[in-house]
């Protein structure tokens, strides 16, 4: 899988003539994957770097749109992330992290932090990276659907817990001795301590956590472990919200009920965006054998970017023979839309050849191309909601989309 990804990335980051000329050489020169100009597999599907200038602070779409761009940017390398945050968004880049997974014995979890301004920040953002197509370590995390029992919280997806920083043979001790210079730093403890320092020194600062795919799972589990450690006395109350895109299920019904109460008590907005037939929010299965359940406010958007608030997305489990043909027809519509959306919505929405090719594959495997971060960026910018300002939460609350 690594070598397939290497060939793809080399091809995508090299001039086509140069690539073909070097293809059969004994030692093919490789592009510098640490350069700010290097673009990931995901990045080649959506090259947009700038935030939507029409969506400003105070707009009900602002935090969702910022979160979607941060979640997409998390797939890039440190130099690229720093350049975009600093030069394009005019915000302050804090740090890019490559976190240790104690169970896999290597660094497998990536995230970055930034804040809205250099001095007296009012918003601090943590963005977790999702699953890259050719990252075997991330796929191991996704496919590890063993349960981890968090006593009063419920049962949680074991692979996600390990990626977040579960300590081998110790579980989740409240205190864990580590330093930022330690290459084996764990995601949860490092981010918790960093946020604690920022919040103590900046009374106005709020925290926003986001992620796409696996990154979305880690984003909602981060405050879950904070609640487990009793950080709800002040730290959780400083959370602005959690915004996830194409997030898989993370735990059982008991976890969902516990977290809905914690979100309510601490006034934390949690919006789970689901685009059309995206397969990832529909796994692991919500059935009598696996027992996984979603929770929180689900914002579901169809392929015309028309949204509504639902208890759960339609066709809650991915594999459904009765839905196969409608999903394939919808994928055909998305493919055709690729050729015209730039004319309808403006040049920044035009789709390149690589994404169009990916949408062709999406016709054969419905729900695959629908997981692309590009559609999630689009729904936060041009998507319409039947309840655009006040959203009805499944628990009966009415949080604002801001």
Please give the average per-residue pLDDT across 158-175, as a whole number: 94
* 223 found inside a domain: yes
* 336 found inside a domain: no
In sequence order, the 6+-apart residues with CB closer than 8 A to the CB of 25 are: none
* 19 found inside a domain: no
State the DSSP string of 313-334. Answer: -SS-SS--GGGHHHHHHHHHHH
- Of 18 and 92, the structure prediction assigns the larger pLDDT to 92
pLDDT number for residue 206? 98
How far apart, in Å, are the Cα atoms of 400 and each of 44, 57, 145?
33, 14, 33
pLDDT number for residue 348? 96
List the CATH number of the domain containing 193: 3.40.50.1820
User: pLDDT tens-digit profile of 56-94?
Assistant: 999 999 999 999 999 999 999 999 999 999 999 999 999
For the ranges 176-185, 234-243, 366-375, which has the lowest average pLDDT?
Answer: 176-185
Q: Where are the beta strands (DSSP E) in 137-280?
A: 147-149, 155-157, 206-212, 239-245, 269-275
Residue 135 in this model has a pLDDT that exceeds 80? no
Task: Identify the bridge partners of residue 124 per DSSP, sorted by sequence position.
Answer: 115, 207
d(CA 224, CA 153): 8
* 399 found inside a domain: no
Residue 395 tokens read as 């628990």
Residue 392 in this model has a pLDDT that exceeds 50? no
Confidence tier at 7 by pLDDT (50, 70, 90):
low
Max Cα distance, the chain (Å): 64
Confidence tier at 136 by pLDDT (50, 70, 90):
confident
- Of 59 and 395, the structure prediction assigns the larger pLDDT to 59
Residue 229 in this model has a pLDDT that exceeds 50? yes
Confidence tier at 399 by pLDDT (50, 70, 90):
very low
Residue 133 in this model has a pLDDT that exceeds 90? no
d(CA 31, CA 16): 13
* Average model confidence (pLDDT) across the chain: 90
d(CA 180, CA 99): 10
* 248 found inside a domain: yes
Q: Where are the beta strands (DSSP E) in 151-199?
A: 155-157
pLDDT number for residue 140? 81
Residue 186 in this model has a pLDDT that exceeds 90? yes
Residue with structure tokens 């004319």? 343
* 97 found inside a domain: yes
Helices (H), 248-323: 253-265
Pairing of strands 147-149, 155-157: antiparallel
* 104 found inside a domain: yes
Confidence tier at 349 by pLDDT (50, 70, 90):
very high
Please give the average per-residue pLDDT across 272-277, as a whole number: 98
pTM score = 0.92
Residue 177 in this model has a pLDDT that exceeds 90? no
Which residues are known catalytic residues? 213, 278, 371
d(CA 346, CA 387): 25
d(CA 76, CA 96): 10
Task: Identify the bridge partners of residue 107 per DSSP, sorted by sequence position.
Answer: 100
User: pLDDT tens-digit profile of 230-264?
Assistant: 987 799 999 999 999 999 999 999 999 999 999 99
Task: Tell how many helices (H) and how many strands (E) occur in the chain.
Answer: 13, 11
Structural domain of 315: 50-319+375-385
Pairing of strands 384-385, 239-245: unpaired
Share of the chain above pLDDT 90, in %: 76
Residue 398 in this model has a pLDDT that exceeds 50? no
Quick one: CA dihedral 175, 181, 187, 190, positive or negative?
positive
Please give the average per-residue pLDDT across 337-353, as a whole number: 97
* 298 found inside a domain: yes
In sequence order, the 6+-apart residues with CB closer than 8 A to the CB of 56 are: 62
Confidence tier at 121 by pLDDT (50, 70, 90):
very high
Please count the structural domains in the chain. Answer: 1
Confidence tier at 9 by pLDDT (50, 70, 90):
low
Quick one: CA dihedral 185, 188, 191, 196, positive or negative?
negative
H helix or E strand, kind and range, residue 301: strand 297-301
Residue 180 in this model has a pLDDT that exceeds 90? no
Residue 144 tokens read as 């590890």
In eight-state DSSP terms, residue 77 is -
pLDDT number for residue 152? 80
d(CA 74, CA 81): 7
Given a contact cutoff of 8 angstroms between Cβ atoms, the answer to whether 255 and 153 are in contact is yes
pLDDT number for residue 395? 43
């Amino acid at each position: 899988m690594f070598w397939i990804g290497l060939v793809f990335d080399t091809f995508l980051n090299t001039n086509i003539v140069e690539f073909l000329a070097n293809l059969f050489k004994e030692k093919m020169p490789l592009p510098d994957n640490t350069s700010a100009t290097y673009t990931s597999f995901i990045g080649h599907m959506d090259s947009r770097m700038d935030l939507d200038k029409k969506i400003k602070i105070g707009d009900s779409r602002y935090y969702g749109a910022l979160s979607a761009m941060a979640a997409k940017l998390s797939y890039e390398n440190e130099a690229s992330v720093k350049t975009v945050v600093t030069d394009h968004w005019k915000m302050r880049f804090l740090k890019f992290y490559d976190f240790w997974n104690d169970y896999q014995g290597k660094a497998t979890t990536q995230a970055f932090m930034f804040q809205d301004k250099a001095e007296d920040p009012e918003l601090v953002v943590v963005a977790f990276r999702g699953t890259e197509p050719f990252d075997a370590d991330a796929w191991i995390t996704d496919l590890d659907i063993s349960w981890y029992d968090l006593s009063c919280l419920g049962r949680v997806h074991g692979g996600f817990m390990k990626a977040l920083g579960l300590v081998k043979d110790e579980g989740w001790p409240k205190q864990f001795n580590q330093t930022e210079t330690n290459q084996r730093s764990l995601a949860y403890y490092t981010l918790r301590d960093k946020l604690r320092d920022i919040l103590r020194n900046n009374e106005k600062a709020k925290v926003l956590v986001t992620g796409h795919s696996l990154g979305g799972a880690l984003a909602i589990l981060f405050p879950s472990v904070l609640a487990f450690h009793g950080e709800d006395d002040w730290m959780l109350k400083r959370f602005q919200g959690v915004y996830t895109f194409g997030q898989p299920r993370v735990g059982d019904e008991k976890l969902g009920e516990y977290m809905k109460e914690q979100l309510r008590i601490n006034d934390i907005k949690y919006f789970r965006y689901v685009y059309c037939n995206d397969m990832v929010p529909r796994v692991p299965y919500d059935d009598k054998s696996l027992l996984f359940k979603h929770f929180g406010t689900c914002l579901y958007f169809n392929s015309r970017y028309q949204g509504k608030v639902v208890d759960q997305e339609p066709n809650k489990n991915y594999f459904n023979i009765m839905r196969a043909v409608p999903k394939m027809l919808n994928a055909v519509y998305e493919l055709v839309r690729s050729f015209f959306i730039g004319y309808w919505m403006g040049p920044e929405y035009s789709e390149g050849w690589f994404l169009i090719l990916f949408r062709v594959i999406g016709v054969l495997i419905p729900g695959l191309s629908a997981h692309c971060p590009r559609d999630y960026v689009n729904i936060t910018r041009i998507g319409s909601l039947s309840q655009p300002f006040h959203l009805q939460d499944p628990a009966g609350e009415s949080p604002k989309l801001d």
